[in-house]
C-alpha cells in the first residue's frame, strides 16, 4: 500500500511540475538557510570537549587597580588573564589535578639546509599538563612532563602541518629543530586538532587556526618570549628589562586547571582565595577579593563566543523557514483544491477519508524529503560561503551526521505540518460532488 501511495504521489507531483518544483524549492531554500545558521550556531555553542567540560576550569583573579574595575560594563568581573608570576607560582604549587599556564608567541625557525629561508611560526607556550588536560591527539610521541617543565628543557611538540613542512611528515620524534638560535628536541607531533570553538583561548578569536607548535612555559624568560596576544596593564611601572616585564602587574597569561570532579570547584576557589590573601599581605591585589573559576561552557558564555551576529542570523533564518512553510502551505492548498475532481472520484470508488488523507500526507512528506535533500546541498554551499566570507579555515564548520539527519527530519516534518491543513481540507470533498457538470 505504501508503494502505491508513493507511486500515486510521484504521479501527482509530475502532473504539475512547476507547482511541485516551487514547493520543493521553497522547502529547500528554507532548510538550506536555517540549517546553515543552525550549524554555525551549533558548532559555536556546542560542547567542544564534552567528556571533561565540567572539570576543566579557567581561572580569573582580580589584581586590577584599586581605583576602578577592570571592565566598566561588568564591574563585578575580574580580569581573565593573570600576571606571569602569579601563573608561574600557581603552576609550581600544583594544587589541582592538572594545570597549565599559557600564552601565544612566535619564534623564528631556522630550517636545516642553506636553501631554506628562516621563517616565523606561531607557538603556544604552555605547561606540560596541557596535552593531557585538553585530550590533544598525538600521531607520534607525546607531550613533556613536569620534570621537563621544571628543568626548562628545550623541547617542542609540532603540529602535523609544521611536521610536514620541516620533516616531510615522518616520525620526527627525537629530531632537532633550530629556533631562535637554540636547538629544540621534538618530543611529539599532534594530529589535526580543531576544537570548535577554540575554547581554551577565545580571546584571540574563537575560530582562529590553532598554533603551529607548543613549547614549555618555563622557557619564557630564557628566550624572552613576548606574547602575541593581548596584554593589559593598570599600573604605571618602570620596565627596563624583560625580567622586569615578567615581574610586573601586566596581565597576559591564561591559566586553566583540571579538577578531579566538578564538586571540587569550591575547594579550589578557597585555595585561590588563600593565595590571594597571602599576596595582599605583600601589598598586591589591592581590590576586594574577587576570584572566579569558570568551567568550559561558562567560559564560552563569558566570552560570548556565539557572537551577536550569529544569534541574529539564527533568529532571522527561522523566520525565513516560517515564510517558506507558509509558501508551501499556500501552494499546497491551491494544488489540492485543483484536485477535488480526482479526489471525489476516488471517494466515489470507495476510498475513505483516512485513505485520502494518508495519500496527501505521503505526497507532502515526499516533497519535504526532496526539499530536504536539496536543502542539505544548499546548506553545504552556505557553510562554504560562510567560511569564505569569514576567512575561516575550510572544513572548520561542517555538517555532521546529527545535523544532516536533523535537516532531513525537519524538512519532512515541516512538509507534513504544512500539508496537514490542505490535506484535511481536501478530504472534506464529498464523494462524487464534483462529478456533476456544474
Partner 1 sequence: MGFGPMMSSLMRSKTGPLLVALQIAVTLAIVINSLFIVVQRVEKINRETGMDINNVVVVYVRGFGDNLDVVSSITNDINLLKSIPGVVAATVSNHVPLSGSGSGTGLRTIADETIDSVNTARYRWGEEGLEALGIELARGRNFFPEEVNYILPDDNIPAPPSILVTQDLADDLFGEEDALGKTVYWGSMEPSTIVGIIGHMQGSWVSWDKLNNVVIQPGKPAYTTNKYLIRVEDGMRDELMPIIEQQLGESNRLRIVKSVRSLEEIASRSYRRDRGMAIILTIVITLLIALTALVIVGLSSFHVAQRTKQIGTRRALGAKRMDIVRQFMLENWLITTAGALFGVLLTVVVAYWLEVSFELPRLDWRYLPIGVVSLWILSALAVLEPARRAASVPPAVATRSV
Note the residues at the interface with partner 1 (CB under 8 A). Answer: 18-19, 22, 25-26, 29, 33, 67-68, 106, 108, 110, 117-120, 180-181, 226, 233-234, 236, 238-242, 307-309, 311-313, 315-317, 319-320, 322-324, 326-327, 329-331, 333-335, 337-338, 385-386, 389-391, 421, 425, 437
Fill in the DSSP letter of residue 226.
P
- Closest to partner 1 by CB, 27 vs 366, is 27
Nearer to partner 1, 274 or 319 (CB): 319
Query: DSSP readout, 172-221?
Result: -TT-EEEETTEEEEEEEEE-----SS-TT-GGG-TTPPPPSEEEEGGGHH
Show the cell assigned to 392: 575561516
> To the nearest whole angstrom, how small is the minimum distance from the Cβ of residue 391 to partner 1?
5
d(CA 220, CA 378): 48
Nearer to partner 1, 276 or 392 (CB): 392
- Rounded CA-CA distance 301/321 in Å is 27
Q: What is the DSSP letter of 334?
A: H
DSSP β-bridge partners for residue 69: none
- The CA–CA distances, whole Å, from 243 to 246, 247, 259 equal 5, 6, 32
Q: Which is nearer to partner 1, 143 or 371 (CB)?
A: 371
Q: Which is nearer to partner 1, 192 or 428 (CB)?
A: 428
Residue 242 or 357 having the CB closest to partner 1: 242
Neighbours of 170 (CB within 10 A): 12
CB 319, min distance to partner 1, A: 5
> Do residues 291 and 60 touch, judged by C-beta distance below 8 A?
yes
Minimum CB separation of residue 56 from partner 1 in Å reads 28
CB of 380 to partner 1, least distance (A): 15
How wide is the angle at C-alpha 220 spanned by C-alphas 217 and 226, nearest 5°?
A: 115
In the three-class reduction of DSSP (H, G, I as helix; E, B as strand; rest coil), residue 299 is classed as helix
CB 28 within 8 A of CB 378: yes
CB of residue 432 vs partner 1: minimum separation in angstroms? Answer: 17
231 or 258: whose CB is closer to partner 1? Answer: 231
Q: By C-alpha distance, which of 130, 162, 153 is closest to 143?
A: 130
Nearer Cβ to partner 1 (96/107): 107
- Which one, of 304, 289, 281, 335, lies nearest residue 41 by Cα? 304
Least distance between partner 1 and beta carbon 204 (Å): 11
Minimum CB distance to partner 1, residue 368 (Å): 16
**Residue owning grid cell 477519508:** 353
Helical packing angle, 308-337 and 353-390, nearest 10°: 150
Could you write out the DSSP letters of every residue in 230-290?
A: --B--S-----SHHHHHHSS-EEEEEEEE-SSGGGHHHHHHHHHHHHHHHHHTT---SPP-
Q: How far is the CB of 286 from partner 1 (least distance, A)?
A: 12
Q: Which is nearer to partner 1, 224 or 264 (CB)?
A: 224
Name the minimum Å distance from CB 99 to partner 1.
29
Amino acid at each position: 500500500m505504501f508503494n502505491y501511495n508513493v507511486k500515486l504521489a510521484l504521479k501527482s507531483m509530475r502532473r504539475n511540475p512547476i507547482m511541485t518544483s516551487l514547493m520543493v524549492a521553497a522547502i529547500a531554500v528554507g532548510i538550506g538557510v536555517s540549517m546553515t545558521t543552525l550549524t554555525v550556531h551549533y558548532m559555536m555553542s556546542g560542547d567542544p570537549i564534552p567528556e571533561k567540560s565540567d572539570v576543566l576550569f579557567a581561572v580569573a583573579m582580580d589584581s586590577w587597580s584599586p581605583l576602578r574595575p577592570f571592565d566598566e560594563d561588568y564591574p563585578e568581573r575580574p580580569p581573565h588573564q593573570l600576571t606571569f608570576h602569579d601563573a608561574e607560582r600557581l603552576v609550581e604549587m600544583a594544587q589541582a589535578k592538572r594545570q597549565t599556564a599559557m600564552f601565544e608567541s612566535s619564534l623564528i625557525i631556522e630550517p636545516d639546509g642553506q636553501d631554506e629561508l628562516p621563517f616565523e611560526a606561531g607557538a603556544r607556550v604552555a605547561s606540560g599538563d596541557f596535552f593531557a588536560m585538553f585530550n590533544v591527539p598525538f600521531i607520534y610521541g607525546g607531550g613533556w612532563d613536569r620534570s621537563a617543565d621544571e628543568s626548562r628543557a628545550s623541547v617542542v611538540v609540532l603540529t602535523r602541518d609544521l611536521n610536514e613542512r620541516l620533516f616531510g611528515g615522518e616520525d620526527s620524534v627525537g629530531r632537532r629543530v633550530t629556533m631562535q638560535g637554540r636547538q629544540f628536541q621534538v618530543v611529539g607531533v599532534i594530529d589535526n586538532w580543531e576544537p570548535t570553538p577554540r575554547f581554551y583561548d577565545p580571546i584571540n578569536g574563537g575560530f582562529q587556526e590553532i598554533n603551529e607548535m607548543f613549547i614549555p612555559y618555563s622557557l619564557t624568560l630564557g628566550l624572552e618570549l613576548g606574547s602575541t596576544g593581548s596584554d593589559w596593564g593598570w599600573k604605571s611601572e618602570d620596565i627596563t628589562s624583560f625580567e622586569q616585564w615578567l615581574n610586573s602587574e601586566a596581565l597576559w597569561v591564561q591559566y586553566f586547571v583540571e579538577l578531579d570532579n566538578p564538586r571540587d570547584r569550591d575547594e579550589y576557589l578557597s585555595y585561590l582565595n588563600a593565595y590571594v590573601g597571602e599576596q595582599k599581605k605583600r601589598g598586591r591585589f589591592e581590590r576586594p577579593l574577587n576570584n572566579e573559576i569558570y568551567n568550559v561552557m561558562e567560559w564560552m558564555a563569558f566570552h560570548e563566543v556565539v557572537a551577536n551576529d550569529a544569534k541574529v542570523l539564527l533568529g532571522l533564518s527561522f523566520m525565513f523557514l516560517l515564510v517558506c512553510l507558509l509558501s508551501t502551505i499556500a501552494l499546497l492548498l491551491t494544488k489540492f483544491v485543483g484536485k477535488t475532481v480526482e479526489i471525489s472520484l476516488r471517494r466515489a470508488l470507495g476510498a475513505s477519508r483516512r485513505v485520502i488523507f494518508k495519500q496527501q500526507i505521503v505526497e507532502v512528506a515526499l516533497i519535504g524529503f526532496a526539499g530536504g535533500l536539496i536543502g542539505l546541498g544548499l546548506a553545504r554551499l552556505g557553510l562554504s560561503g560562510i567560511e569564505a566570507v569569514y576567512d575561516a579555515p575550510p572544513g572548520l564548520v561542517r555538517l555532521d551526521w546529527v545535523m544532516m539527519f536533523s535537516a532531513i527530519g525537519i524538512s519532512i516534518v515541516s512538509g507534513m505540518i504544512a500539508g496537514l491543513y490542505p490535506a484535511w481540507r481536501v478530504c472534506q470533498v464529498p464523494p462524487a460532488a464534483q462529478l456533476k457538470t456544474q
